[in-house]
Chain A
Amino acid sequence: MIDGIRAYFKRKGFHEVEVPLLLPTPSTEPFLEVFKTELKDDQGERWDGFLPSSPEFALKKLLSAGSGSVFTITKSFRNGEGRSSRHNPEFTILEWYHTPGDYWSVAEDFQGLMLDILYRVSPCKVQGKTLGYQGKEYSLKAPWERISVAEAFAKYAGVDTETMLDEEKLKEVGKSKGYQVTDKTTWEEIWNQIMANEIEPKLGQKGPTIIYDYPAVVKTMAGEPVGQAALARKAKDPRFAERWEVFMGGIELGNCFSELTDWREQEARCKVDLLERKRLGKTEYPMDTDFIDALKLGMPPTGGIAVGVDRLVALFADTPTIAETLFFPVEEMFG
Protein backbone atom coordinates (compact mmCIF):
# COMPACT_ATOMS: atom_id res chain seq x y z
CA MET A 1 0.00 0.00 0.00
CA ILE A 2 2.76 2.39 0.92
CA ASP A 3 4.39 1.59 -2.44
CA GLY A 4 1.10 2.40 -4.12
CA ILE A 5 0.75 5.76 -2.37
CA ARG A 6 4.32 6.67 -3.33
CA ALA A 7 3.89 5.65 -6.94
CA TYR A 8 0.66 7.64 -7.24
CA PHE A 9 2.11 10.91 -5.97
CA LYS A 10 5.34 10.57 -7.91
CA ARG A 11 3.33 9.99 -11.06
CA LYS A 12 1.40 13.19 -10.33
CA GLY A 13 4.62 15.18 -9.98
CA PHE A 14 4.77 15.57 -6.19
CA HIS A 15 8.19 15.59 -4.48
CA GLU A 16 8.62 13.12 -1.66
CA VAL A 17 10.36 14.68 1.34
CA GLU A 18 11.49 13.57 4.78
CA VAL A 19 10.71 15.55 7.91
CA PRO A 20 12.43 15.53 11.32
CA LEU A 21 11.06 13.39 14.14
CA LEU A 22 12.84 15.35 16.87
CA LEU A 23 11.78 18.97 17.10
CA PRO A 24 12.55 21.94 19.35
CA THR A 25 8.93 23.12 18.98
CA PRO A 26 6.03 20.99 17.78
CA SER A 27 2.89 22.41 16.15
CA THR A 28 0.44 24.28 18.31
CA GLU A 29 -2.83 22.29 18.26
CA PRO A 30 -4.29 23.04 21.69
CA PHE A 31 -6.04 19.70 22.18
CA LEU A 32 -3.14 17.38 21.36
CA GLU A 33 -0.66 16.27 23.99
CA VAL A 34 2.92 15.73 22.86
CA PHE A 35 5.85 13.47 23.80
CA LYS A 36 8.59 15.48 25.43
CA THR A 37 12.22 14.42 25.54
CA GLU A 38 15.61 16.08 25.88
CA LEU A 39 18.54 16.66 23.59
CA LYS A 40 21.96 16.79 25.32
CA ASP A 41 25.43 17.55 24.04
CA ASP A 42 28.75 16.30 25.43
CA GLN A 43 29.21 19.53 27.40
CA GLY A 44 26.06 18.85 29.35
CA GLU A 45 23.99 21.47 27.61
CA ARG A 46 20.34 20.48 27.31
CA TRP A 47 17.46 21.39 25.07
CA ASP A 48 13.81 20.37 25.23
CA GLY A 49 12.90 18.10 22.35
CA PHE A 50 9.49 16.93 21.17
CA LEU A 51 8.11 14.25 18.88
CA PRO A 52 5.90 15.77 16.17
CA SER A 53 2.11 15.41 16.29
CA SER A 54 2.10 16.02 12.54
CA PRO A 55 4.64 16.95 9.83
CA GLU A 56 2.64 20.03 8.88
CA PHE A 57 4.94 22.89 9.92
CA ALA A 58 8.02 21.27 8.38
CA LEU A 59 6.22 20.74 5.08
CA LYS A 60 4.93 24.31 5.01
CA LYS A 61 8.46 25.61 5.53
CA LEU A 62 9.48 23.68 2.42
CA LEU A 63 6.49 25.01 0.49
CA SER A 64 7.42 28.56 1.42
CA ALA A 65 10.96 27.88 0.22
CA GLY A 66 9.52 26.96 -3.18
CA SER A 67 9.49 23.17 -3.09
CA GLY A 68 6.32 22.85 -5.18
CA SER A 69 3.79 20.10 -4.40
CA VAL A 70 5.16 17.73 -1.74
CA PHE A 71 4.18 14.62 0.14
CA THR A 72 5.58 12.66 3.05
CA ILE A 73 4.79 9.33 4.67
CA THR A 74 6.13 9.59 8.18
CA LYS A 75 5.58 8.76 11.85
CA SER A 76 3.71 11.13 14.13
CA PHE A 77 2.92 10.86 17.81
CA ARG A 78 0.06 11.78 20.10
CA ASN A 79 0.24 11.40 23.84
CA GLY A 80 -2.28 11.37 26.67
CA GLU A 81 -5.14 9.80 24.71
CA GLY A 82 -7.48 6.99 25.72
CA ARG A 83 -7.13 3.68 23.92
CA SER A 84 -9.16 3.46 20.75
CA SER A 85 -9.59 1.09 17.84
CA ARG A 86 -8.85 3.95 15.49
CA HIS A 87 -5.76 5.49 17.09
CA ASN A 88 -2.31 4.31 18.09
CA PRO A 89 -0.07 6.80 19.99
CA GLU A 90 2.56 6.32 17.29
CA PHE A 91 1.06 6.30 13.84
CA THR A 92 1.92 6.56 10.17
CA ILE A 93 0.67 9.73 8.57
CA LEU A 94 0.47 10.72 4.93
CA GLU A 95 0.43 14.45 4.27
CA TRP A 96 0.40 16.06 0.89
CA TYR A 97 0.28 19.66 -0.22
CA HIS A 98 -1.00 20.54 -3.69
CA THR A 99 0.35 23.84 -4.97
CA PRO A 100 -0.80 25.95 -6.60
CA GLY A 101 -4.16 24.70 -5.41
CA ASP A 102 -6.82 24.69 -2.73
CA TYR A 103 -8.93 22.18 -0.80
CA TRP A 104 -10.76 21.05 -3.93
CA SER A 105 -7.49 20.20 -5.72
CA VAL A 106 -6.76 17.90 -2.79
CA ALA A 107 -10.21 16.28 -3.13
CA GLU A 108 -9.30 15.38 -6.74
CA ASP A 109 -5.99 13.91 -5.55
CA PHE A 110 -7.69 11.86 -2.83
CA GLN A 111 -10.34 10.46 -5.19
CA GLY A 112 -7.58 9.36 -7.58
CA LEU A 113 -5.46 7.94 -4.77
CA MET A 114 -8.23 5.75 -3.37
CA LEU A 115 -9.03 4.28 -6.81
CA ASP A 116 -5.31 3.72 -7.41
CA ILE A 117 -4.94 1.81 -4.13
CA LEU A 118 -8.09 -0.18 -4.89
CA TYR A 119 -6.58 -1.14 -8.24
CA ARG A 120 -3.42 -2.36 -6.50
CA VAL A 121 -5.00 -4.30 -3.66
CA SER A 122 -7.98 -5.82 -5.45
CA PRO A 123 -7.80 -5.35 -9.22
CA CYS A 124 -10.87 -7.51 -9.76
CA LYS A 125 -13.02 -4.90 -8.04
CA VAL A 126 -11.86 -1.94 -10.09
CA GLN A 127 -14.56 -2.40 -12.71
CA GLY A 128 -17.29 -1.62 -10.21
CA LYS A 129 -15.00 0.72 -8.21
CA THR A 130 -16.38 -0.71 -4.99
CA LEU A 131 -14.64 -1.54 -1.76
CA GLY A 132 -16.05 -4.04 0.69
CA TYR A 133 -15.62 -3.05 4.33
CA GLN A 134 -17.08 -4.93 7.31
CA GLY A 135 -19.84 -6.49 5.25
CA LYS A 136 -20.86 -3.39 3.27
CA GLU A 137 -19.93 -2.25 -0.22
CA TYR A 138 -18.80 1.32 -0.83
CA SER A 139 -18.40 2.98 -4.20
CA LEU A 140 -15.17 4.93 -4.63
CA LYS A 141 -16.29 6.34 -7.95
CA ALA A 142 -15.51 10.05 -8.40
CA PRO A 143 -16.86 12.58 -7.70
CA TRP A 144 -17.59 11.69 -4.10
CA GLU A 145 -20.70 13.02 -2.39
CA ARG A 146 -20.22 16.54 -1.04
CA ILE A 147 -22.26 18.29 1.63
CA SER A 148 -21.44 21.52 3.47
CA VAL A 149 -21.41 21.56 7.26
CA ALA A 150 -24.29 24.07 7.22
CA GLU A 151 -26.37 21.81 4.94
CA ALA A 152 -25.58 18.76 7.08
CA PHE A 153 -26.66 20.50 10.30
CA ALA A 154 -29.94 21.53 8.65
CA LYS A 155 -30.58 18.17 6.98
CA TYR A 156 -29.56 15.72 9.70
CA ALA A 157 -29.86 17.69 12.94
CA GLY A 158 -32.54 20.26 12.06
CA VAL A 159 -30.24 23.12 13.10
CA ASP A 160 -30.08 26.23 10.91
CA THR A 161 -26.88 28.13 10.23
CA GLU A 162 -27.63 31.08 12.54
CA THR A 163 -28.29 28.72 15.43
CA MET A 164 -25.29 26.55 14.65
CA LEU A 165 -22.92 29.52 14.84
CA ASP A 166 -24.41 31.07 17.97
CA GLU A 167 -23.17 29.75 21.30
CA GLU A 168 -26.30 30.48 23.34
CA LYS A 169 -28.74 29.31 20.67
CA LEU A 170 -26.80 26.12 20.05
CA LYS A 171 -26.68 25.33 23.76
CA GLU A 172 -30.46 25.79 23.95
CA VAL A 173 -30.94 23.40 21.04
CA GLY A 174 -28.48 20.98 22.64
CA LYS A 175 -30.45 21.04 25.86
CA SER A 176 -33.74 20.39 24.08
CA LYS A 177 -32.11 17.48 22.24
CA GLY A 178 -31.24 15.97 25.63
CA TYR A 179 -27.49 16.66 25.69
CA GLN A 180 -25.96 17.57 29.00
CA VAL A 181 -25.35 21.32 29.03
CA THR A 182 -23.79 23.02 32.04
CA ASP A 183 -22.19 26.43 32.65
CA LYS A 184 -18.89 24.91 31.64
CA THR A 185 -20.09 23.40 28.37
CA THR A 186 -18.53 25.16 25.40
CA TRP A 187 -19.92 25.85 21.94
CA GLU A 188 -17.27 23.53 20.55
CA GLU A 189 -18.33 20.63 22.79
CA ILE A 190 -22.01 20.83 21.86
CA TRP A 191 -21.18 21.39 18.21
CA ASN A 192 -18.96 18.32 18.16
CA GLN A 193 -21.47 16.25 20.12
CA ILE A 194 -24.23 17.00 17.60
CA MET A 195 -21.76 16.25 14.82
CA ALA A 196 -20.74 12.91 16.37
CA ASN A 197 -24.23 11.75 17.35
CA GLU A 198 -26.44 13.05 14.59
CA ILE A 199 -24.36 13.83 11.53
CA GLU A 200 -21.27 11.60 11.26
CA PRO A 201 -23.29 8.34 11.42
CA LYS A 202 -25.24 9.54 8.35
CA LEU A 203 -22.16 10.30 6.25
CA GLY A 204 -20.34 7.95 3.91
CA GLN A 205 -22.98 5.23 3.80
CA LYS A 206 -22.58 4.35 0.11
CA GLY A 207 -19.17 5.82 -0.60
CA PRO A 208 -16.92 8.54 0.80
CA THR A 209 -18.69 11.79 1.77
CA ILE A 210 -16.80 15.06 1.87
CA ILE A 211 -18.25 17.44 4.45
CA TYR A 212 -16.88 20.94 3.85
CA ASP A 213 -16.70 24.54 5.03
CA TYR A 214 -16.41 24.33 8.81
CA PRO A 215 -17.24 27.23 11.13
CA ALA A 216 -14.25 29.55 10.99
CA VAL A 217 -14.16 30.52 14.60
CA VAL A 218 -14.25 28.06 17.40
CA LYS A 219 -14.52 29.94 20.65
CA THR A 220 -12.94 28.71 23.84
CA MET A 221 -14.20 29.42 27.31
CA ALA A 222 -12.08 32.51 27.38
CA GLY A 223 -13.91 33.65 24.26
CA GLU A 224 -10.82 33.43 22.07
CA PRO A 225 -11.01 31.87 18.62
CA VAL A 226 -9.04 28.65 18.51
CA GLY A 227 -8.37 25.24 17.10
CA GLN A 228 -10.36 23.61 14.34
CA ALA A 229 -9.73 26.01 11.56
CA ALA A 230 -6.57 27.61 12.93
CA LEU A 231 -4.58 26.58 9.87
CA ALA A 232 -7.23 27.06 7.19
CA ARG A 233 -8.04 29.96 4.91
CA LYS A 234 -11.42 31.66 5.21
CA ALA A 235 -14.13 30.80 2.67
CA LYS A 236 -16.12 33.34 0.64
CA ASP A 237 -18.57 33.50 3.52
CA PRO A 238 -16.09 34.57 6.20
CA ARG A 239 -18.02 32.74 8.93
CA PHE A 240 -16.62 29.52 7.44
CA ALA A 241 -13.15 28.16 6.74
CA GLU A 242 -12.11 26.22 3.66
CA ARG A 243 -11.73 22.88 5.29
CA TRP A 244 -13.22 19.45 4.63
CA GLU A 245 -13.21 16.06 6.22
CA VAL A 246 -14.04 12.83 4.44
CA PHE A 247 -16.01 10.00 6.05
CA MET A 248 -16.71 6.49 4.91
CA GLY A 249 -18.51 3.80 6.88
CA GLY A 250 -18.30 5.91 10.03
CA ILE A 251 -14.54 6.40 9.76
CA GLU A 252 -12.93 9.78 9.23
CA LEU A 253 -10.31 9.33 6.52
CA GLY A 254 -8.77 12.75 6.23
CA ASN A 255 -8.86 16.40 7.22
CA CYS A 256 -8.07 18.93 4.49
CA PHE A 257 -7.56 22.70 4.35
CA SER A 258 -6.97 25.47 1.91
CA GLU A 259 -3.90 26.48 3.84
CA LEU A 260 -3.64 29.78 5.65
CA THR A 261 -0.71 31.62 4.06
CA ASP A 262 -0.98 35.00 5.81
CA TRP A 263 1.82 35.01 8.39
CA ARG A 264 0.27 37.73 10.57
CA GLU A 265 -2.95 35.81 10.97
CA GLN A 266 -1.04 32.54 11.45
CA GLU A 267 1.12 34.07 14.17
CA ALA A 268 -1.95 35.40 15.98
CA ARG A 269 -3.69 32.02 15.79
CA CYS A 270 -0.61 30.16 17.05
CA LYS A 271 -0.41 32.50 20.03
CA VAL A 272 -4.04 31.85 20.89
CA ASP A 273 -3.52 28.11 20.51
CA LEU A 274 -0.55 28.19 22.88
CA LEU A 275 -2.57 30.11 25.47
CA GLU A 276 -5.33 27.54 25.14
CA ARG A 277 -2.76 24.75 25.67
CA LYS A 278 -1.79 26.43 28.90
CA ARG A 279 -5.41 26.70 30.03
CA LEU A 280 -5.99 23.02 29.25
CA GLY A 281 -2.90 22.02 31.23
CA LYS A 282 -1.07 20.62 28.21
CA THR A 283 2.72 20.60 27.90
CA GLU A 284 3.91 24.13 27.13
CA TYR A 285 6.55 25.13 24.62
CA PRO A 286 7.49 28.21 22.61
CA MET A 287 6.09 29.12 19.22
CA ASP A 288 7.89 27.83 16.13
CA THR A 289 9.09 31.24 14.92
CA ASP A 290 10.90 29.62 11.98
CA PHE A 291 7.49 28.61 10.72
CA ILE A 292 6.19 32.17 10.88
CA ASP A 293 9.41 33.46 9.27
CA ALA A 294 9.01 30.93 6.49
CA LEU A 295 5.47 32.16 5.82
CA LYS A 296 6.86 35.70 5.56
CA LEU A 297 8.80 34.54 2.47
CA GLY A 298 5.42 33.90 0.92
CA MET A 299 3.71 30.56 0.84
CA PRO A 300 1.90 29.90 -2.44
CA PRO A 301 -1.84 29.09 -2.45
CA THR A 302 -1.94 25.49 -1.31
CA GLY A 303 -4.38 22.77 -0.38
CA GLY A 304 -3.12 20.24 2.15
CA ILE A 305 -4.34 17.13 3.91
CA ALA A 306 -3.39 14.63 6.62
CA VAL A 307 -4.45 11.00 6.22
CA GLY A 308 -3.90 8.24 8.77
CA VAL A 309 -2.20 5.50 6.79
CA ASP A 310 -2.97 2.83 9.42
CA ARG A 311 -6.66 3.64 9.00
CA LEU A 312 -6.40 3.36 5.21
CA VAL A 313 -4.72 -0.02 5.60
CA ALA A 314 -7.49 -1.15 7.99
CA LEU A 315 -10.06 -0.06 5.41
CA PHE A 316 -8.48 -1.88 2.48
CA ALA A 317 -7.62 -4.93 4.61
CA ASP A 318 -11.21 -4.96 5.93
CA THR A 319 -10.22 -5.08 9.61
CA PRO A 320 -12.36 -3.35 12.27
CA THR A 321 -9.38 -2.00 14.25
CA ILE A 322 -6.07 -0.48 13.28
CA ALA A 323 -4.30 -2.64 15.90
CA GLU A 324 -4.87 -5.60 13.56
CA THR A 325 -2.88 -3.83 10.86
CA LEU A 326 0.13 -3.19 13.12
CA PHE A 327 2.82 -5.73 13.99
CA PHE A 328 3.43 -4.07 17.35
CA PRO A 329 0.30 -2.30 18.58
CA VAL A 330 0.80 -0.26 21.73
CA GLU A 331 -1.59 -2.45 23.75
CA GLU A 332 0.67 -5.45 23.21
CA MET A 333 3.91 -3.65 23.93
CA PHE A 334 2.81 -1.63 26.96
CA GLY A 335 -0.13 -3.74 28.13
Chain B
Amino acid sequence: MSSIKANQLKGGMFILYKDAPHEVIKCEFYFPGKGSAFARTRLKNVKTGNVYEYTYKSSESVETVEVETLELQYLYADGDTYYFMNPRTYDQFEVKEWVFDGKQKYLLPEMKMFFNQYEGEIIGVRFPPKVSLRVTEAQDAVAGNTVNAAKKPVMTETGVEVFVPLFVKANETIIVDTATNEYVSRG
Protein backbone atom coordinates (compact mmCIF):
# COMPACT_ATOMS: atom_id res chain seq x y z
CA MET B 1 0.00 0.00 0.00
CA SER B 2 1.29 3.44 -0.81
CA SER B 3 0.10 6.91 -0.09
CA ILE B 4 -0.37 10.03 -2.15
CA LYS B 5 -1.20 13.65 -1.41
CA ALA B 6 -4.88 14.52 -1.65
CA ASN B 7 -4.07 17.01 -4.41
CA GLN B 8 -3.11 14.02 -6.62
CA LEU B 9 -6.51 12.37 -6.27
CA LYS B 10 -8.29 11.58 -9.52
CA GLY B 11 -11.52 9.92 -10.55
CA GLY B 12 -11.07 6.15 -11.00
CA MET B 13 -8.49 5.75 -8.20
CA PHE B 14 -9.01 3.36 -5.33
CA ILE B 15 -8.23 4.64 -1.84
CA LEU B 16 -8.79 3.83 1.81
CA TYR B 17 -11.44 6.00 3.45
CA LYS B 18 -12.31 5.22 7.07
CA ASP B 19 -10.27 2.01 6.73
CA ALA B 20 -12.41 0.68 3.87
CA PRO B 21 -11.54 0.62 0.16
CA HIS B 22 -13.39 3.22 -1.89
CA GLU B 23 -13.37 4.22 -5.53
CA VAL B 24 -12.97 7.92 -6.23
CA ILE B 25 -15.95 8.64 -8.46
CA LYS B 26 -15.39 12.34 -8.66
CA CYS B 27 -12.72 14.68 -7.40
CA GLU B 28 -12.72 18.42 -7.65
CA PHE B 29 -10.25 20.87 -6.28
CA TYR B 30 -11.65 23.71 -4.35
CA PHE B 31 -9.79 26.93 -3.72
CA PRO B 32 -11.91 29.02 -1.43
CA GLY B 33 -9.78 32.10 -2.11
CA LYS B 34 -9.87 32.86 1.58
CA GLY B 35 -8.19 29.69 2.72
CA SER B 36 -6.00 26.81 1.69
CA ALA B 37 -7.00 24.33 -1.01
CA PHE B 38 -9.29 21.34 -0.61
CA ALA B 39 -10.25 18.30 -2.66
CA ARG B 40 -13.98 17.59 -2.73
CA THR B 41 -14.58 13.95 -3.53
CA ARG B 42 -17.39 11.51 -4.09
CA LEU B 43 -16.32 8.11 -2.87
CA LYS B 44 -17.96 4.76 -3.46
CA ASN B 45 -17.46 2.01 -0.92
CA VAL B 46 -16.37 -0.89 -3.13
CA LYS B 47 -17.91 -3.50 -0.85
CA THR B 48 -21.36 -1.97 -0.37
CA GLY B 49 -21.68 0.46 -3.27
CA ASN B 50 -22.65 3.25 -0.84
CA VAL B 51 -21.55 6.70 -1.93
CA TYR B 52 -20.14 9.38 0.37
CA GLU B 53 -18.98 12.94 -0.08
CA TYR B 54 -15.79 13.95 1.68
CA THR B 55 -13.55 16.97 1.53
CA TYR B 56 -9.81 16.47 1.99
CA LYS B 57 -7.23 19.11 2.79
CA SER B 58 -5.12 19.08 -0.33
CA SER B 59 -2.00 18.67 1.79
CA GLU B 60 -3.10 15.54 3.62
CA SER B 61 -1.96 12.07 2.68
CA VAL B 62 -4.32 9.41 1.42
CA GLU B 63 -3.66 5.67 1.31
CA THR B 64 -4.16 4.14 -2.09
CA VAL B 65 -5.37 0.59 -2.55
CA GLU B 66 -3.72 -1.83 -4.95
CA VAL B 67 -6.33 -3.28 -7.23
CA GLU B 68 -5.88 -5.92 -9.87
CA THR B 69 -7.29 -5.43 -13.34
CA LEU B 70 -8.62 -8.37 -15.29
CA GLU B 71 -10.61 -8.88 -18.45
CA LEU B 72 -13.68 -11.04 -18.02
CA GLN B 73 -16.40 -12.33 -20.30
CA TYR B 74 -20.10 -12.13 -19.47
CA LEU B 75 -21.94 -15.42 -18.98
CA TYR B 76 -25.40 -14.88 -17.44
CA ALA B 77 -27.32 -13.13 -14.71
CA ASP B 78 -29.21 -14.56 -11.77
CA GLY B 79 -31.25 -11.97 -9.90
CA ASP B 80 -28.93 -9.11 -9.07
CA THR B 81 -25.80 -11.20 -9.39
CA TYR B 82 -23.97 -11.30 -12.71
CA TYR B 83 -21.61 -14.12 -13.62
CA PHE B 84 -18.43 -13.57 -15.58
CA MET B 85 -15.59 -15.84 -16.62
CA ASN B 86 -11.89 -15.33 -17.10
CA PRO B 87 -11.50 -16.57 -20.71
CA ARG B 88 -7.94 -17.72 -20.03
CA THR B 89 -8.34 -19.60 -16.78
CA TYR B 90 -12.10 -20.33 -16.96
CA ASP B 91 -12.40 -19.05 -13.37
CA GLN B 92 -15.86 -17.72 -12.65
CA PHE B 93 -16.58 -14.44 -10.89
CA GLU B 94 -19.70 -13.02 -9.31
CA VAL B 95 -20.38 -9.34 -9.86
CA LYS B 96 -22.97 -7.44 -7.82
CA GLU B 97 -25.39 -5.28 -9.74
CA TRP B 98 -24.32 -1.96 -8.14
CA VAL B 99 -20.88 -2.36 -9.69
CA PHE B 100 -22.43 -1.55 -13.10
CA ASP B 101 -24.06 1.66 -11.93
CA GLY B 102 -27.14 1.06 -14.09
CA LYS B 103 -25.22 -0.06 -17.19
CA GLN B 104 -26.06 -3.75 -16.72
CA LYS B 105 -28.95 -3.19 -19.11
CA TYR B 106 -26.42 -3.21 -21.98
CA LEU B 107 -24.90 -6.59 -21.08
CA LEU B 108 -24.86 -9.16 -23.85
CA PRO B 109 -23.57 -12.73 -23.54
CA GLU B 110 -19.84 -13.04 -24.34
CA MET B 111 -19.26 -9.31 -23.95
CA LYS B 112 -15.78 -8.65 -22.57
CA MET B 113 -14.73 -5.86 -20.28
CA PHE B 114 -12.13 -4.96 -17.67
CA PHE B 115 -12.84 -5.30 -13.97
CA ASN B 116 -11.03 -4.22 -10.83
CA GLN B 117 -10.49 -6.89 -8.26
CA TYR B 118 -9.62 -6.34 -4.61
CA GLU B 119 -9.14 -9.15 -2.09
CA GLY B 120 -10.81 -11.61 -4.45
CA GLU B 121 -13.91 -9.47 -5.03
CA ILE B 122 -14.93 -7.56 -8.12
CA ILE B 123 -15.26 -3.95 -7.04
CA GLY B 124 -15.34 -1.91 -10.23
CA VAL B 125 -15.80 -2.08 -13.96
CA ARG B 126 -14.63 -0.16 -16.97
CA PHE B 127 -17.81 -0.56 -18.96
CA PRO B 128 -17.36 -0.13 -22.74
CA PRO B 129 -18.35 3.44 -23.62
CA LYS B 130 -20.19 2.19 -26.70
CA VAL B 131 -22.00 -1.05 -27.40
CA SER B 132 -23.62 -2.40 -30.54
CA LEU B 133 -27.15 -3.68 -30.11
CA ARG B 134 -29.54 -5.29 -32.54
CA VAL B 135 -32.88 -3.54 -32.98
CA THR B 136 -35.68 -5.96 -32.19
CA GLU B 137 -38.71 -3.73 -32.66
CA ALA B 138 -39.03 -0.58 -34.73
CA GLN B 139 -42.09 1.16 -36.09
CA ASP B 140 -41.93 2.60 -39.57
CA ALA B 141 -42.20 6.28 -38.86
CA VAL B 142 -43.26 9.09 -41.12
CA ALA B 143 -41.23 12.27 -40.96
CA GLY B 144 -44.21 14.59 -41.25
CA ASN B 145 -43.71 18.32 -40.89
CA THR B 146 -40.90 18.31 -38.36
CA VAL B 147 -38.19 20.92 -38.57
CA ASN B 148 -35.70 19.18 -36.29
CA ALA B 149 -34.21 15.82 -37.11
CA ALA B 150 -37.03 13.51 -36.13
CA LYS B 151 -36.40 10.58 -33.80
CA LYS B 152 -38.38 7.52 -32.83
CA PRO B 153 -38.01 4.99 -30.02
CA VAL B 154 -36.89 1.44 -30.88
CA MET B 155 -36.47 -1.65 -28.70
CA THR B 156 -33.11 -3.41 -28.67
CA GLU B 157 -32.12 -6.98 -27.91
CA THR B 158 -31.22 -6.29 -24.28
CA GLY B 159 -34.56 -4.57 -23.66
CA VAL B 160 -33.18 -1.04 -23.69
CA GLU B 161 -35.25 1.59 -25.48
CA VAL B 162 -33.20 4.02 -27.59
CA PHE B 163 -34.24 7.07 -29.61
CA VAL B 164 -32.91 6.73 -33.17
CA PRO B 165 -33.25 8.53 -36.52
CA LEU B 166 -36.27 7.50 -38.59
CA PHE B 167 -34.27 5.44 -41.11
CA VAL B 168 -33.32 2.75 -38.56
CA LYS B 169 -35.24 -0.50 -39.11
CA ALA B 170 -35.77 -3.71 -37.14
CA ASN B 171 -32.90 -6.24 -37.25
CA GLU B 172 -30.32 -3.57 -37.95
CA THR B 173 -27.47 -3.09 -35.52
CA ILE B 174 -26.96 0.29 -33.87
CA ILE B 175 -24.19 1.70 -31.72
CA VAL B 176 -25.30 3.21 -28.42
CA ASP B 177 -23.40 5.40 -25.98
CA THR B 178 -23.65 3.67 -22.59
CA ALA B 179 -23.15 6.88 -20.62
CA THR B 180 -26.04 8.79 -22.20
CA ASN B 181 -28.17 6.02 -23.77
CA GLU B 182 -27.95 7.97 -27.05
CA TYR B 183 -27.78 6.58 -30.56
CA VAL B 184 -24.31 7.07 -32.09
CA SER B 185 -24.53 5.45 -35.53
CA ARG B 186 -25.59 2.36 -37.40
CA GLY B 187 -23.37 -0.59 -36.56
A residues near B (Cβ < 8 Å) are: 29, 31-32, 53, 78, 81-87, 178, 180, 182, 184-186, 188-189, 192-193, 196-197, 201, 218, 227-228, 255
- B69 / chain A contacts, CB cutoff of 8 Å: none
**Judging by beta carbons under 8 Å apart, are A185 and B57 in contact?**
yes
**Judging by beta carbons under 8 Å apart, are A82 and B33 in contact?**
no
Q: What is the distance, in angstroms, from A174's C-beta to the closest C-beta of chain B?
A: 10
- B36 / chain A contacts, CB cutoff of 8 Å: 31, 186, 188-189, 192
Number of interface residues of B (CB under 8 A): 23
**Which of A31, A85, A185 is within 8 Å of B35, CB to CB?**
A31
The 8 closest A-B pairs by CB, nearest first: A82-B29, A196-B55, A180-B60, A228-B34, A84-B28, A81-B31, A192-B35, A189-B57
- A84 / chain B contacts, CB cutoff of 8 Å: 28-31
* Docked complex Cα distance between A84 and B31 (Å): 9
- A185 / chain B contacts, CB cutoff of 8 Å: 57, 59-60
* Docked complex Cα distance between A189 and B59 (Å): 9
**Judging by beta carbons under 8 Å apart, are B7 and A193 in contact?**
no
- B75 / chain A contacts, CB cutoff of 8 Å: none
Known A178-B18, A188-B35, A218-B34; 6 more pairs at CB < 8 Å: A53-B33, A82-B31, A83-B29, A84-B28, A84-B30, A197-B55
* Docked complex Cα distance between A207 and B126 (Å): 38
Question: Taking A82-B29, A83-B29, A178-B18 as contacts, is the C-beta distance between A227 and B59 under 8 angstroms?
Answer: no
**Which of A32, A85, A188, A218 is within 8 Å of B33, CB to CB?**
A32
**Which of B28, B34, B35, B59 is within 8 Å of A82, CB to CB?**
B28
**Judging by beta carbons under 8 Å apart, are A31 and B34 in contact?**
yes
**Judging by beta carbons under 8 Å apart, are B33 and A196 in contact?**
no
Q: 23 pairs across A/B with beta carbons < 8 Å?
A: A31-B32, A31-B37, A81-B31, A82-B37, A82-B39, A83-B28, A83-B29, A84-B30, A86-B30, A182-B60, A185-B57, A189-B59, A192-B32, A192-B36, A192-B57, A193-B55, A196-B38, A197-B53, A201-B53, A227-B34, A227-B35, A255-B33, A255-B34
Select from chain A the residue with minimum beta-carbon distance to B55: A196
Select from chain A the residue with minimum beta-carbon distance to B33: A32
B130: Cβ under 8 A from any A Cβ: no
